[in-house]
Amino acid sequence: MSELWRGLLYLAIAGTFTSTIYLLLVLVGAFRFHLRARSASKLVSGLQSSLPPVTILKPVHGMELRLEENLESFFQQDYPVFEIIIGARDADNPALLVAEKVCKRYPQVKSRVVVSGPPVWPNAKVFSLAKMIPGASYDCFVISDSDVRVSRDFLRNVVAPLLDPTLGLVTCLYQGVPAGDFWSVLEALGMSVEMPSGVVVADMLEGIRFALGPAVAVRRDVLDKIGGIAATADYYSDDYVLGNKVWRAGYKVIFSHHVIEHVLTPRPLSRTLGDQLRWMKSTRYSRPVGHIGTGLTYAMPFGILGLIAATALGHPAFGVLLFCSAVLNRVIQSIAVGRGLIGDRRALYFSWLYPIRDLVGWCLWVCSFTGGDFFWRGEMYRFTKGGKIIPRDRSAENAVKNPPSG
C-alpha cells in the first residue's frame, strides 16, 4: 500500500510542477498581452476618422433576464454609421418582443428583425446568421451573442483594426458577470480567469488561430474567401472554426484590447454544469491533443492528492505544503489575470474561491471523456470527429451543398 501512496505522491508533485509552469506562462503571457493592448489602444485612437459603416448581427434565442439591457448597449454605440439586424428562429420567440421594444426606443438606429425559420443545418445559430447576412447594408460585420453587454466605445475599438487588409478577424476577451448565486459566481470567475489565461498562453506560444463567440468583427470579403458563414455550419464551436478558417486563409486574427461583458442569467445547477461540460466536450473533439494536455494545468487536484498521499505516508507537513501551494497558485492566477488583465474586480474579491472553480473545472474535464451526446437549445446532438455535430431529433443537410436563400 505504501508503494501506491508513494506513486500518488510523485504524481501530485509532478502535477504541482506542471501547474506552476503553466502559471508562469500565464503571468508572462498576460503581461505581454497587456503591453500589446496598450499599443493597440493608441493605434486605434489614430484611426477614428476613417471608420467604416458596420452591420451588427445579433441572433437571439429565448428570454434572458438582462436581455433588454444587453441589446440596448449595442443601440447606444458612439459610432458614425451602423445598423443592427436581429435574428430569431421563430416569429413567436419571446426575445423578439424585447428586441422590437428596444428597436422602437432608438428610431435613429437602422434596425430590423429576420426570422430564419426551422434550421436545416446542424448549427441553428449559423443558419440564422446566413439568413441575416444577405440583408446587411455594409461590408463590415460584428457578430455578437445575446448575452453580451458592451460599453459605448465597443465598435470604435473592435472595427478599426479591420482597416488593415492583412487582418481578417478581430475577437474579444470577456469578463463574466454573475447572476448572483454561488455557482454563477464560479462560472463567471472561469470566464474572467480561466478563459483569458488559455488565450494569452496560446497567443504567446503559437499566435491566435481562433475566435471567441461573444463578439467577432470580420469583413465580408474575408467571409467570402472562406466560403461564407456556411463553412462553420456543421460545428458546435462555430466561433473557433470561423477564426481558424480565417487564419488558414492567410489573414491575421487578433484579440482586441477591448474587454466586453458576458452576462449570466439565473439557472439550475444542472444547466450550469451541463453547459460547461458541453464546452469541454467540444474542445475534446475539436482539439483532442490540447484537451488532454489541459489536465496538467489544473492545480487543486494535485494539491489535494498531495495532501492525502503525504499524510498517508506520515509526512502531513509536506502534504499541507503541496495543498497550500496549489491554493496560492490559483489565487495568484485569479488576481493577475482576472483583475490585472481583464479588469474584473470580482476576480480580486473572490480570488479565494477560484481554487474551487479550478477543482470543478478539473472534474468537468474528467467527465468530458464520457459520451459525445449533449443537449443544446432544446435539442439533442452528438459530437463527431473534428468537433462537427449531428442533430439527433431532426435531419440536417450539408451546409455547403444546401446554402440558405436570403
The predicted structure's pLDDT at residue 138: 97
CB count within 10 Å of CB 113 equals 18
pLDDT at residue 395 tops 70:
no
d(C-alpha 392, C-alpha 406), whole Å: 26
Q: Give the pLDDT band of residue 394 (cuts 50, 70, 90).
A: low
Q: Give the pLDDT band of residue 398 (cuts 50, 70, 90).
A: very low
Task: Report domain 50-272's class.
Answer: alpha beta
Residue with the three cell numbers 448575452: 147
Q: What is the CA angle 216-221-111, rounded to 5?
A: 55
List the chain domain ranges.
Answer: 50-272
Residue 111 phi, psi (nearest 5): -150, 155
Q: How much is the pTM?
A: 0.92
pLDDT at residue 124 tops 60:
yes
Judging by DSSP bridges, how do beta strands 110-115 and 82-88 pair with one another? parallel
Burial class (CB in 10 A: 0-12, 13-18, 19+), 139: middle
pLDDT at residue 292 tops 50:
yes
d(C-alpha 216, C-alpha 57), whole Å: 10
pLDDT at residue 49 tops 80:
no
- The model's pLDDT over 319-356, given as tens digits with 9 standing for 90+, comes to 999 999 999 999 999 999 999 999 999 999 999 999 99
The predicted structure's pLDDT at residue 109: 97
Q: Give the pLDDT band of residue 48 (cuts 50, 70, 90).
A: low
Which one-letter DSSP state was computed for residue 341? I
Q: Give the pLDDT band of residue 234 (cuts 50, 70, 90).
A: very high
**What value does the CA radius of gyration of the chain take, rounded to a whole number of Å?**
22
